[in-house]
Structure 1
Amino acid sequence: MAGEAAGREDTLEHGWRVLRRLAGRHAGFFTTRQVLRTGCETKVRAGLGEGSVTRAGVGLLRLAEWPDGPLDEYAMWAAWFDGAAAVSHQSAAELHGIGRLRPHFLHMSVGKGRPPVTPRLVVLRRPLAGIDVESAGPFLVTTPVRTVLDLAESDIGQLALNEVVADALAIRRCDDDEIQSASTRSTPRAAERLRRALTAL
């Protein structure tokens, strides 16, 4: 019997290590789904009681040892989607420092997963290739070129797109050859909008 108890304890400790590793990818955030998958319900319940785990939202928790940071909201939603999401569109432009779009919502492109019920998040369903995303620490963000392309395909005004493209080139987040090359993978409308943005420089 002692061997069975030790085996259960080892399994629980292994599950806790796995959960902490998952949380570590996203600034300490993790989901109740991950808790169930790792078998850590008892440990997390105890952590909520003693304060080492805090509630971050419906279905979202956080290890209290992680300090608050300015990009926590991005990390939290990346955890919700198990890392299968990237900050994109206007939100990515803001992170890259290109344009002055001042988004009212957080835009995320998501390959899979159930979106949360929140008015704050705009979820765009689409797969993203590895060349279209880059790491921003605890979450992924679309590359500057992919961001420019996404915005050309969206409904932002031409003047706003011109500013995004001008900023991207001015601060060397990408160059005009990259933008022209990317436009060939886009819709005719977006390609024309990008051509106008480049000639407006």
Structure 2
Amino acid sequence: MSESDGWRVLRRYAGRHAGYFTTRQALRTGCAGLVQAGICDGSVLRAGVGLLRLAEFPSGPLDEYAMWAAWFDGAAVVSHQSAADLHGLGRLRPRFLHLSVGAGRPPLTARLVVLRRRLRDIEAESAGPFLVTTPLRTVLDLAESEIGQTSLDEVIGDALAIGRCTVDELRAIEVLTPRAADRVARSIAGF
């Protein structure tokens, strides 16, 4: 692949992640020289260790999610409290960004909580430059986590109120641990 072909591939990849790409991807596409020239002329910006961004992409409120999606080659899914926050479920105000990933080397940052697991395609949905767990998967993840019952009640109540999942869907779930199933049952008892 020529350097110009590699540059087109890298730009296409970066375009899927709000302009973000990694030095690893630049090396893989064979266009490290063009990236270095871009850094010099300002068309490529350093976004962190091993992370770069095409300067033509405007900053946005979800850039951090897109950046980490690029880090994991698009295979990361925003999950747990972070997914609830994105879906507008509850008021958890997560201090960390929660990602579910099947593989890949996590970056050295205290900002991320990386959970090693593979999700089925139906458990994630596109949020533009990154993936996020579906509202139903988010509720189930939180039921299996250590958040308080009151917070879980609020998340489930919001999900039901805005039509992101139904009581029947929550009752039909068979993959929960007994503790999580009990927590969900308590939350939907009033519906």
| Aligned partner of residue 192 in structure 1, secondary structure | helix
Quick check: 1:134 aligned with 2:99? no
- Rg (Cα) greater in structure: 1
Where does the alignment leave 5 or more consecutive residues of structure 2 unmatched? Answer: none
Equivalent AA in structure 2 for residue 19 of structure 1: L
Aligned partner (choices 92, 103, 108) of residue 101 of structure 1: 92
Map of 1:23-38 to 2, 5 A cutoff? Answer: 23-38=14-29
Map of 1:50-61 to 2, 5 A cutoff? Answer: 50-61=41-52
Number of matched pairs = 191
For residues 45 and 39 of structure 2, the distance between their equivalents in structure 1, rounded to whole angstroms, comes to 6
Aligned partner (choices 161, 170, 175) of residue 185 of structure 1: 175
Map of 1:62-101 to 2, 5 A cutoff? Answer: 62-101=53-92
2:3 — aligned with what? 12
Question: How far does residue 200 in structure 1 lie from its aligned partner after superposition?
Answer: 4.0
| Aligned partner of residue 75 in structure 1, secondary structure | helix
2:188 — aligned with what? 198
- RMSD between aligned residues: 0.8
Structure-2-length-normalised TM-score: 0.98
For residues 168 and 103 of structure 2, the distance between their equivalents in structure 1, rounded to whole angstroms, comes to 32
Check whether the contact 1:29–1:76 (CA below 8 A) recurs between aligned residues: yes
Equivalent AA in structure 2 for residue 103 of structure 1: P
Equivalent AA in structure 2 for residue 162 of structure 1: D
Structure-1-length-normalised TM-score: 0.93
Quick check: 1:115 aligned with 2:141? no
Quick check: 1:150 aligned with 2:141? yes
For residues 176 and 76 of structure 2, the distance between their equivalents in structure 1, rounded to whole angstroms, comes to 21
Higher helix share: 1
For residues 200 and 103 of structure 1, the distance between their equivalents in structure 2, rounded to whole angstroms, comes to 27
Equivalent AA in structure 1 for residue 178 of structure 2: P
Quick check: 1:171 aligned with 2:166? no
For residues 171 and 83 of structure 2, the distance between their equivalents in structure 1, rounded to whole angstroms, comes to 20
**What percentage of residue pairs aligned between the two structures are identical?**
71
Superimposed CA distance per residue, residues 131-166 of structure 1 (whole angstroms, 9 cap, x where no aligned partner): 000000000000000000000000000010001000
Where does the alignment leave 5 or more consecutive residues of structure 1 unmatched? Answer: 1-9
For residues 136 and 186 of structure 1, the distance between their equivalents in structure 2, rounded to whole angstroms, comes to 26
Check whether the contact 1:162–1:200 (CA below 8 A) recurs between aligned residues: no
For residues 80 and 195 of structure 1, the distance between their equivalents in structure 2, rounded to whole angstroms, comes to 37
Moved over 2 A (4+): none
